[in-house]
Structure 1
Amino acid sequence: MSAPSTPAGHATSPGAHWINRFAQLPARFHTRLQAQGLPDPHWVITSDDCAALLGWPTDWWQAAAPAEQASALAVFSGQTRWPGMDPLATVYSGHQFGHWAGQLGDGRALWLGELQGPEGPLELQLKGAGRTPYSRMGDGRAVLRSSLREFLASEAMHHLGIPTTRALCLTGSALPVRRERVETAAVLTRVAPSFLRFGHFEHFCHHGQHDDLRTLLDFVLQHLMPGCRARPDPALAVLEEVTRLSADLVAQWQAVGFCHGVLNTDNMSLLGLTLDYGPFGFLDGYDPQHICNHSDERGRYAYAAQPNIVWWNLHALAQALLPLVGSGQGEETDILALQEVLGRFAPHFQARTQALWRAKLGLRQAEEEDATLVSDWLALLAAERVDFTIAHRRLSAYDPAEPSTLTPLRDLFVAPQGLHAWAQRLADRVAREGLPGPQRLAAMRACNPKYVLRNHLAELAIRDAEVGDFGFLQRLHQVLRRPFEEQPEHEALAGFPPDWAGQLCVSCSS
Structure 2
Amino acid sequence: MTTAPQDPPTLDSGLVWNNRFAALGEDFFEALSPTPLPAPYWVGRSTQVAATLGLPTDALESPDLLQALTGNLQLAGTQPLASVYSGHQFGHWAGQLGDGRAILLGETNGLEVQLKGAGLTPFSRMGDGRAVLRSSIREFLGSEAMHGLGVPTSRALCVTGSDAPVRREDIETAAVVTRTAPSFIRFGHFEHFSHTNQHDPLRTLADYVIDRYYPQCRTDGRYNGNPYANFLEAVTQRTAEMVAQWQAVGFCHGVMNTDNMNILGLTIDYGPFQFLDAYDPGHICNHSDHQGRYAFYKQPNVAYWNLYCLGQALLPLIGEQEQAIAALETYKVSYPLAFASRMAAKLGFAEVHAELGPVADTFLRLMAADRVDYSIFWRRLSHWAREQRADDASVRDLFLDRTGIDAALLQFSELLAQYPQGLDADLMLKSNPKYVLRNHLGELAIQSAKAKDFSKVAELLKVLERPYDEHPEHDALAGFPPDWAGSIAISCSS
TM-score with structure 1 length normalisation?
A: 0.92
Change (3 A) 1:321 1:500: same
Give the CA RMSD over aligned residues: 1.4
Moved more, 222-231 or 32-41: 222-231
* Pairwise CA distance, 1:207: 0.3
SS in 2 for 1:408: coil
* Pairwise CA distance, 1:373: 1.7
Count matched residues: 480
Q: Output aligned runs, 1:164-313, within 5 Å.
A: 164-231=153-220, 232-313=225-306
* Pairwise CA distance, 1:57: 1.8
Which of 74, 95, 110 is equivalent to 2:88?
95
Matched, 1:125 2:94: no
* 8 Å CA contact 1:399, 1:406 repeated in 2: no
CA distance in 2, matches of 1:443, 1:393: 12
* 8 Å CA contact 1:12, 1:72 repeated in 2: no
Q: Which residue is equivalent to 1:41?
A: 40
* Pairwise CA distance, 1:63: 4.1
* 8 Å CA contact 2:432, 2:468 repeated in 1: yes
CA distance in 1, matches of 2:271, 2:306: 18
* Pairwise CA distance, 1:405: 5.8
* Pairwise CA distance, 1:368: 2.3
* 8 Å CA contact 1:204, 1:212 repeated in 2: yes
SS in 1 for 2:435: coil
* 8 Å CA contact 1:399, 1:405 repeated in 2: no
* Pairwise CA distance, 1:444: 0.8
Deviations 1:347-402 (A, max 9, x none): 10111111111110112343323222211110010000000000000000113873
Letter matched to residue 135 of structure 1: S
Q: Which residue is equivalent to 2:55?
A: 56
Percent identity over paired residues: 54
CA distance in 1, matches of 2:342, 2:422: 20
SS in 2 for 1:285: coil
Which of 129, 153, 177 is equivalent to 1:140?
129
CA distance in 1, matches of 2:318, 2:487: 49
* 8 Å CA contact 1:363, 1:430 repeated in 2: no
Change (3 A) 1:393 1:291: same
Change (3 A) 1:216 1:43: same
SS in 2 for 1:19: coil
CA distance in 2, matches of 1:406, 1:378: 20
Matched, 1:478 2:462: yes
* 8 Å CA contact 2:349, 2:422 repeated in 1: no
CA distance in 2, matches of 1:206, 1:63: 45
- Structure 2 unaligned spans of 5+: 1-10
Q: Which runs of 4+ in 1 moved over 4 A?
A: none
Matched, 1:18 2:17: yes
* 8 Å CA contact 1:365, 1:433 repeated in 2: no
Q: Which residue is equivalent to 2:7?
A: none
CA distance in 2, matches of 1:470, 1:76: 18
Letter matched to residue 177 of structure 2: L
Deviations 1:248-303 (A, max 9, x none): 00000000000000000000000000010000000000000000000001110000
- Structure 1 unaligned spans of 5+: 1-10, 65-70, 327-333
Matched, 1:86 2:79: yes
TM-score with structure 2 length normalisation?
A: 0.95
* Pairwise CA distance, 1:442: 2.1
* Pairwise CA distance, 1:425: 1.1
* 8 Å CA contact 2:236, 2:307 repeated in 1: yes
* Pairwise CA distance, 1:403: 3.6
SS in 1 for 2:398: coil
Q: Which residue is equivalent to 2:29?
A: 30
Q: Which residue is equivalent to 1:6?
A: none
Change (3 A) 1:277 1:302: same
SS in 2 for 1:363: coil
* 8 Å CA contact 1:12, 1:56 repeated in 2: no
Letter matched to residue 45 of structure 1: G
Change (3 A) 1:171 1:411: same
SS in 1 for 2:178: strand
CA distance in 1, matches of 2:386, 2:23: 60
Which of 482, 486, 490 is equivalent to 1:502?
486
